[in-house]
Amino acid sequence: MGIRAWVSHLLAGGDRSPYGGFWFEPVGVQTTSGLRVSADSALQLSAVFACVRIIASQFASLPFTLYRNRADGGKDRVTNHPVYTLLARRPNPYQNAFEWREMMAGHLALRGNAYNQIVSDSRGNITALLPLHPDRMQILLAANGDYSYQYTRLNGAIATYSRGEIWHLRGLSSDGIIGLSPIALARNAIGGAQAAQDYGARFFANDATPTGGWVEYPGSFKDRQSREQFRESLQEAQSGINHGKLAVFEFGMKYHQISVTPEDAQFLETRRFHVTDIARWFGVPPHKIGDLDRATNNNIEQQALEFVQETLGPMAERWESSIEAELLFDDEELEAEFQFSQLMRGDSQSRATFYNMGIQSGWLTRNEARIAENLNPLPGLDQPLRPLNMVEEGQNDPLPPHTSDTPRG
C-alpha cells in the first residue's frame, strides 16, 4: 500500500487512540479486484450484513433446553443446572441470553470462530461466559501438540488462557484447532461486490454520467506544455465546487461526452449476481435477504425449510456437541438441544390439521396441543384418545357384541 493510500486508510474513521479498537482490527486481504476485504469491511455490503443478521438472529431466537434421557425413551427437562441458566437466561452480567447468542452466532458465521472465557466458582460450577473478540485472539501451539490462547485486550494488555479456560466454538476446520473464516474464503467474491458497489456510488455521484470525455481542437498547440496547461485549467473549472458549471470553448473547440454503453449500464446486473453469490456462500436463501427475482409462492416455503435443515440445523448441532463436550461433565448424562418447533410451525390451518390428526390417532393429547400453542393445560385433557374401531393386534374387542332387547315376533 502506497503512502497516499495508507494516509487515506488512516483518515477513514475509527478510534485511533491508544485504547481504541482500530489498531487491533485486521488489515484485510487484498483481492483480485484490488480492494482489501476484512470481516468489518465486508459488513458494509448489504448482502453480507443481511446474511449474518438473519443467521444470528434466527439462531438466537431458538429456545434452549437441557434434558436427561429416561429409561422408557422419554426426556426429563432440567432447569436447575448452571449451564441452563447461562444459555437460557443470563450468560454474563453484561448481556442477556438472546444478545449473547446472537453475538456468538454472528462471530461464527462471519469469522468461523467464537470464543468465551469460562468463569467458574470454587466448586467448579460455571458462573459466567465472557465473550472474546475473534480478531484479537491467537492460538499458541506447544511442542507437544497442545495449544493455548493469547488474547490482546483493548488497552494493549495480553492475557494467556489454557484450553480449559476458553470455550471455543469453531466452524468448518481443516486442522481441528481453528475454524476457517468464510470471509477469507469468499474474499474475491466479496471484493468484486465491493468494487461494483463503489463503482455505482461514483457513477451516481457524477449525475449518472461517465467522467470521461475528449476535446476536439481543429488546430494544434504550440508545445506540450500548452496542451497540459489547457487540460489542467479545464479539469479545475469542472471539478470540485465547479462541478456542473457551464464550460466555454474557443478556437473552434468541441467537447465530446463519452456515452453510457449498454455494457456499462449492466453493472446493476452484476450487483444482483453478487447478492446471489454471497447468499450461496452463507447458505441463506436469496429471498431472505430481499432478493425476490427467482422467488415464487411455491418455492419460498421449501427454501425456508431448507434454510432450517441445511444452515441452522448444522449450526445447532455444532453448539449442542460443543456444550456437551466442553461445558457439561460426562457423568451428568445431560443432553443439550435447541428447539426448532417455532420455525417449523407453518400457518394456522396446517397446525390445526396436524393437531387434529395427532389427537384423533392417539399419539398427541389435547393438553400437549394446547401447550404447543402457548395455552395453559385444562383438567381432564391429559389422556390420549383412542378410536373405537382400532385396537392393538391380538387384543380382544373391548366392546361387547351388540344385542337387541326387542323380542322377535
User: How does pLDDT run across 187-237, given as a tens digit for each residue?
Assistant: 777 776 666 666 666 655 555 454 556 566 677 777 788 778 777 776 666
Of 134, 192, 121, 135, which is closest to residue 167 (Cα–Cα)? 134
pLDDT (0 to 100) of residue 129: 96
pLDDT (0 to 100) of residue 285: 87
**Are 27 and 38 a contacting pair, CB within 8 Å?**
yes
User: How does pLDDT run across 110-154, given as a tens digit for each residue?
Assistant: 999 999 999 998 888 899 999 999 999 999 998 888 899 999 998
Place of cell 489498531: 23
Q: Model's pTM, two decimal places?
A: 0.69
Q: Which residues pair with 77 in a beta bridge?
A: 67
Distance CA 306, CA 304 (A): 5
The DSSP code for 388 is: T
Here the cell at position 105 is 452466532
Distance CA 52, CA 257 (A): 42
User: How does pLDDT run across 69-107, given as a tens digit for each residue?
Assistant: 888 777 889 999 999 999 999 999 999 999 999 999 999
pLDDT (0 to 100) of residue 13: 41
The DSSP code for 95 is: B
**Are 335 and 68 a contacting pair, CB within 8 Å?**
yes
**Are 74 and 84 a contacting pair, CB within 8 Å?**
no
Q: Which of 219-233, 242-256, 358-372, 385-399 has the highest mean pLDDT?
A: 358-372
Distance CA 104, CA 206 (A): 41
Per-residue pLDDT, averaged over 229-257, amounts to: 64
Q: Which residues pair with 257 in a beta bridge?
A: 213
Place of cell 484450553: 163
Here the cell at position 201 is 456510488
The alpha helices in 81-186, defined as continuous H runs, are 82-88, 97-111, 182-185
pLDDT (0 to 100) of residue 390: 66
Q: How confident is the model at residue 30 (pLDDT cuts 50, 70, 90)?
A: low
Per-residue pLDDT, averaged over 12-40, amounts to: 53
Q: Which amino acid is at 52?
A: V
More confident residue, 50 or 269: 50
**Are 210 and 263 a contacting pair, CB within 8 Å?**
no
pLDDT (0 to 100) of residue 240: 56
The alpha helices in 330-399, defined as continuous H runs, are 348-361, 366-372
Mean pLDDT, the chain, integer: 77
Per-residue pLDDT, averaged over 396-407, amounts to: 52
Query: How many CB atoms sit inside 10 A of residue 376's CB?
Result: 7
One-character DSSP codes across 294-312: T--TTHHHHHHHHHIIIII
- For residue 212, the SS3 value is coil
**Are 62 and 342 a contacting pair, CB within 8 Å?**
yes
Q: Which of 13-17, 339-343, 367-371 has the lowest mean pLDDT?
A: 13-17
Distance CA 340, CA 64 (A): 10
**What is the layout of strands, in order, in the sheet containing 64-69?**
75-77, 64-69, 335-338
